[in-house]
Structure 1
Amino acid sequence: MTAKVIRVVIADDEPLIRAGIRMILTSDPAIEVVAEASDGRQAVDLARAHTPDVVLLDIQMPVMDGLTALGELRRAAPEVRALVLTTFGEKENVLRALGQGSAGFLLKDSAPGELIGAVRAAAAGDAYLSPGATRHVVDQLASGRAAARSEEARRRIAELSERECGVLALLGEGLSNADAGRRLHMSEATVKTYVSRILSKLGCENRVQAALLARDAGL
């Protein structure tokens, strides 16, 4: 059976950046770039017109910035997954993107393989945060947490197996499923299964919550 092609819209106001992203993504035969936008408003309109699987949104764009476009996109086409792509790694941008419903946050200096992996993860319904972005979120939200929160975190992870704790610790480091698999000598699919099981056991909605819990527990 032929694998489903992932349809992507790229939104960035710099033509050279868009060309570079297109070249990287289309090197994967499972990804098709269906349209390009030079501002946030155009990105929302193209998402309505093409119903892509994933929209890559730059933060700094004219007419409508990427974070505003993200909110519009969530209302106009909630089935479309949006990845925020930027050179700006400030904590507030990461947190705002997540708060607006982003499927992930990727820095423009990420490796080509990470960009492709992020698009694949978003299309599959997973959240993706670059390791640097994950550390920003974890450090920001974990600062000032009381000892009682650490004790609660240790209590919650007590029901995890040793292997599950190992996977959770790598989530706390911000590793992707593929990177965690290489570290643990496991397949990416196996790690994904472990992550789903961990989220279910801990009652976490996403990887970021699990990463915070891992940090609180001292993993």
Structure 2
Amino acid sequence: MEAPPIRIVLVDDHALCRNGLTDLIAHRSPMRVVASTGDPDHALALLREHRPDLVILDLRMPATDGLSLLRRFRAEGIDTPAVILTMSDAEADLAAALRAGVRGYLLKDMDPEEVLGAIARAARGELAVAPAMTLKLAQMLQSPATGAPATDKAGLIASLTERERQILEHVSRGESNKAIARALDISHDTVKLHVRHILAKLNLSSRVEAAVFAVEHRAAGDAAGRSETR
């Protein structure tokens, strides 16, 4: 049986952008926009009414910003995965969005097919970042780690089982639960359970944070290894 289409709610204060993206999705993908609005207050009601698979948020809106709106959704118990679609290519905005737990950070000047592909990946549970932002993401991950010291990170990693460490490595590559299940020959539900355990043990709130944690831990380990050989 054919899978149901990915259902999207779009929040952007520019009607031209809302209408253009709605038409693009409708005519060039199996996905569909079930509702859209330029009013952040209305967005909450739309998410409750439609329960979409994904919400796409503009980063800058007159009444609020997309990340503040996302935090409001979470405070209201709405856990719909979110993608930021913006004109901002600032590293600080990308970092703030990833810390907020978004599934994607896309730019409005991307090629339409790239936008559609990225939205579909985000809906499948993968991390989708605009190609123009990937270098900034890499630089951000390679910068000195913040938060827990490397020794604390090592201790937290050590608390994971071997299977959980395997799954964390796959998560750090941006793979979806289904892709991880195929790679490890285990069920999708088993992967979901392991991811929940990983987040609890590492005291993290999203798989994006887990991916950043894993990359930082790996980078810290590489740096320690280099210093020991000198």
Q: TM-score, normalised by structure 1?
A: 0.65
Go from structure 1 to structure 2 and tell me whether the alpha carbon gap of 1:170 and 1:86 turns closer, same or farther (over 3 Å shift): farther
* CA-CA distance at 1:197 after TM superposition: 1.9
Kept after mapping to 2: 8 A contact 1:88/1:107: no
Go from structure 1 to structure 2 and tell me whether the alpha carbon gap of 1:199 and 1:91 turns closer, same or farther (over 3 Å shift): same
Report the secondary structure of 2:55's partner residue.
strand
Q: Deviations over 1:69-108 (max 9, x none)?
A: 5424644783443432346453222233356x56433426
Amino acid at match of 1:161: T
* CA-CA distance at 1:144 after TM superposition: 1.8
2:42 to 45, 49, 53: 45
Kept after mapping to 1: 8 A contact 2:106/2:115: no
* CA-CA distance at 1:136 after TM superposition: 5.3
User: Which structure 2 residues correspond to residues 69-88 of structure 1 after superposition, within 5 A?
Assistant: 69-72=66-69, 74-75=71-72, 78-80=76-78, 81=80, 82-86=82-86, 88=88
2:36 alignment counterpart: 36
* CA-CA distance at 1:167 after TM superposition: 1.4
* CA-CA distance at 1:139 after TM superposition: 4.8
Report the secondary structure of 1:36's partner residue.
strand
Distance 1:70 1:210 in 2: 19
1:19 alignment counterpart: 23
Q: Which is worse superposed, 131-140 or 151-160?
A: 131-140
- Pair 1:195 & 2:200 matched: no
Kept after mapping to 1: 8 A contact 2:199/2:205: yes
Q: TM-score, normalised by structure 2?
A: 0.63
Kept after mapping to 2: 8 A contact 1:167/1:195: yes
1:129 alignment counterpart: 127
RMSD: 4.0
Distance 2:150 2:215 in 1: 8
Kept after mapping to 1: 8 A contact 2:10/2:57: yes
Kept after mapping to 1: 8 A contact 2:83/2:106: no
User: Which structure 2 residues correspond to residues 37-186 of structure 1 after superposition, within 5 A?
Assistant: 37=37, 39=38, 42-48=39-45, 51=48, 52-53=50-51, 54-59=54-59, 63-64=62-63, 68-72=65-69, 74-75=71-72, 78-80=76-78, 81=80, 82-86=82-86, 88-98=88-98, 101=100, 103-107=102-106, 110=114, 112=116, 114-119=118-123, 121=125, 129-130=127-128, 139-140=139-140, 143-145=143-145, 149-186=149-186
Kept after mapping to 2: 8 A contact 1:131/1:173: no
Amino acid at match of 1:21: I
Report the secondary structure of 2:149's partner residue.
helix
Go from structure 1 to structure 2 and tell me whether the alpha carbon gap of 1:203 and 1:69 turns closer, same or farther (over 3 Å shift): closer
* CA-CA distance at 1:183 after TM superposition: 4.1
Equivalent pairs, count:
199
* CA-CA distance at 1:187 after TM superposition: 4.5
* CA-CA distance at 1:145 after TM superposition: 3.2
Kept after mapping to 2: 8 A contact 1:84/1:106: yes
- Pair 1:8 & 2:5 matched: no
Amino acid at match of 2:156: R
Go from structure 1 to structure 2 and tell me whether the alpha carbon gap of 1:74 and 1:204 turns closer, same or farther (over 3 Å shift): closer
Go from structure 1 to structure 2 and tell me whether the alpha carbon gap of 1:4 and 1:21 turns closer, same or farther (over 3 Å shift): closer
Amino acid at match of 1:34: V
